[in-house]
Structure 1
């Protein structure tokens, strides 16, 4: 999740020229006969991966859509699956209960789907059932929250959590340096503190700030919910009478964070968000406290469906030289500001 890169991550994965195409021909400067023109190499897909192939069934499981990012994950997965006549999309009931998700995944294994796209509520707790799927010969595309055992998945695809923190840290650090703030009060509102993705975000933020000689003054997790975001922000605002910068990990919980800030009437600091929601982008465009957000787009679910389809059909990525789909795909985190927000708005999700 944002758990919670576009323009366009899809383009990064599936568009553009062939990577590693044959070497350029060397110009002939003698009277010798010219060498034959080199033949460009293509991936196992032979070019266009979107051309119909073997009919496959893709199983899909994700947490319940209790906020915008997760809801957009399911919508992106379903919308991408519908683009292919050779894909049968088989989602199970989304749930935030670990045991229910395990049972749902087991039902997909029993149904003998060709490939499974799985965004676990918790990677560690769902690791065993993912391993059960791979042991049954069903490739698993691990989306976002990663399984600790690499034998539990064929390919992982997700955002760059550490990179999110780095991007946010550089935006904050650079702006504070330009303003000449010597000892800034920097506040950080995390998502779920126990998740590795949250820890990666915090580490990236701290590492980037360190390059400017800054550190985080206070941080607290807000569980990725609007309500918790509102409460945590209220607590931090009361605890710190002056703040210079605030980074909120998740734009969904950011709805509550912004509401708390406005209610408190605080205007002395600037804020950076995370994920790239449409409402956050509208706030950025309007000007005000929220100046930027760093992307972690749910369009990754659509890319996961594309990857799963290729795995089930035994194809590689047409734009790559290699014959197999990569083992991991990390999507870039981009910084959205007032200067470039119009380019990103079409990719935003509603909180």
Structure 2
């Protein structure tokens, strides 16, 4: 798999709060659409900003839905757009080919959409086409994987990768401390090791563990795929006859990790996932296996990106903020989901 990951989280800042139904500051009293049974999409309702206004066309471009999180990104964006009678949603064909995504975004620029929501396959490689959009007067809402040039986007919204690691590290560190474990064997299964987002997650994890006097025993990346998750987990299980805890960065690849653990018949440790998939939450609720928590990086960020695009295109700000304009950057919080709060977050989960 190429550079095409980025994942999960809930809006906080002064603007948006993620919980149960993800209630935001810039919405109306219109009821949210009923979620589908297969993969609920987070849509929102709240204040007068959601009352019909100027008609706007919002273009949308994202990678191909080759795993659960990316599929949920597209579904959330479309579902949120449908909440507004004044929004025309104009998605282009999803693709994992950089050149095809550039061409697709160029077609949206030529169509003179009022705003663009872009989750790039690679922020650096799509930076120039995003800049062309902003130079053409089209505000770009940069979703998740950031463009390096701030002149290429009006607002960035994405997850807190460092915060994911911190949340996982504190859950594992606190649990091991309370159990009186000394010199624990802690394994870390990354996504793609070369990506900055993965490096941020690993740094947050190491920094949090350090506060308990712990460190990572072994670390290996699993490419964000089920198959690699199975292979990497199998290798780590064979190499370590005694394990105390595992942090797996991604619930999609976690399907393979858990399959390997089941095949090996190992249960002397506990595991924390990453992303907040619905199937992971159900496993955590059941409390019948090694998975005890997951830290969020929710695709609901796509719903919020559509809301931000609409506000910016209509010249509105966020009603709970004093400032007149939508913020330039919104970093999402990483929540820790356990059996105690899984039911609250399950409606926002995505199917892996």
Matches within 5 A, 1:203-218: 203-218=203-218
Aligned pairs for 1:192-211 (under 5 A) are 192-211=192-211
CA distance in 2, matches of 1:282, 1:254: 13
Say whether residues 1:337 and 2:338 are aligned partners.
Answer: yes
Q: Could you tell me which residue of structure 2 aligns to residue 249 of structure 1?
A: 249
- 1:288-327 equivalent positions in 2, closer than 5 A: 288-327=289-328
For 1:290 and 1:74, locate their aligned partners in 2 and report how far apart those are by CA, in whole Å: 27
**Structure 1 position 301, deviation (Å):** 0.3
Q: Deviation of residue 68 (structure 1)?
A: 0.6
For residue 124 of structure 2, give the secondary structure of its aligned residue in structure 1: helix
Tell me the residue number matched to 1:166.
166
* Cα distance change, pair 12–85 in 1 and its aligned pair in 2 (3 A): closer
User: Does residue 10 of structure 1 match 2:11?
Assistant: no
Query: In structure 2, what is the Cα distance between the partners aligned to 1:195 and 1:130?
Result: 21
Alignment of 1:24-39 (within 5 A): none
Whether contact under 8 Å (1:293, 1:337) holds in the other structure is: yes
CA contact (8 A) 1:294 1:336 kept: yes
Distance 1:291 1:249 in 2: 14
| Offset at residue 14 of structure 1 (A) | 3.7
Q: How many residues align?
A: 321
Cα displacement (A) at 1:10:
3.5
CA distance in 2, matches of 1:181, 1:73: 39
Residue 264 of structure 2 aligns with which residue? Answer: 264
Q: CA RMSD in A?
A: 1.5
Residues in 2 aligned to 1:138 and 1:10: alpha-carbon distance in whole angstroms = 28
> Does the CA contact (< 8 Å) of 1:15 and 1:319 recur in 2?
no
Is the 2:316–2:326 contact (alpha carbons within 8 Å) kept by the matching residues of 1?
yes
**Runs of 4+ with deviation above 2 angstroms:** 8-16
Question: How do 1:1-351 and structure 2 match up within 5 A?
Answer: 2-4=6-8, 5=10, 6-8=18-20, 10-14=22-26, 48-287=48-287, 288-351=289-352
What's the offset of the Cα at 1:9?
Answer: 7.8
For structure 1, the residue ranges without an aligned partner over 5 or more in a row are 17-46
Q: Tell me, what secondary structure is at the counterpart of 1:64?
A: coil
- SS of the residue 1:10 aligns to: coil
Answer yes or no: is the 8 Å Cα contact 1:9–1:331 preserved in 2: no
- SS of the residue corresponding to residue 89 of structure 2 reads strand
Structure 1 contact 187–247 (Cα < 8 Å) conserved: yes
Q: What's the CA shift for 1:12? A: 4.9
What's the CA shift for 1:176? Answer: 0.9
SS in structure 1 of the partner of residue 23 of structure 2: helix
CA contact (8 A) 2:25 2:319 kept: no
Residues 248-281 of structure 1, C-alpha deviation per residue, up to 9 Å, x if partnerless?
Answer: 1111111111001101111111000011111000
Distance 1:213 1:13, change over 3 A: farther
Q: Deviations over 1:156-197 (max 9, x none)?
A: 111111111100000000011111121111111111222221
Give the TM-score of the pair, scaled to structure 2: 0.88
SS of the residue corresponding to residue 266 of structure 2 reads: coil
C-alpha distance after superposition, 1:197-254 (max 9, x if no partner): 1111111111100100111111111121111111111111122121111001111111
SS of corresponding position for 1:219: strand
In structure 2, relative to structure 1, the CA distance for the partners of 1:337 and 1:15 (3 Å cut) is: farther
Q: Is the partner of 1:60 in helix, strand or coil?
A: strand
Instruction: Specify whether residues 12 and 215 from structure 1 end up closer, same or farther in structure 2 by C-alpha distance, changes over 3 A only.
Output: farther
Q: Is the 8 A contact 2:20 2:347 kept in 1?
A: no
Q: Deviations over 1:60-100 (max 9, x none)?
A: 00010011110000000000001111111010110111111
Question: Between Structure 1 and Structure 2, whose CA radius of gyration is higher?
Answer: 1
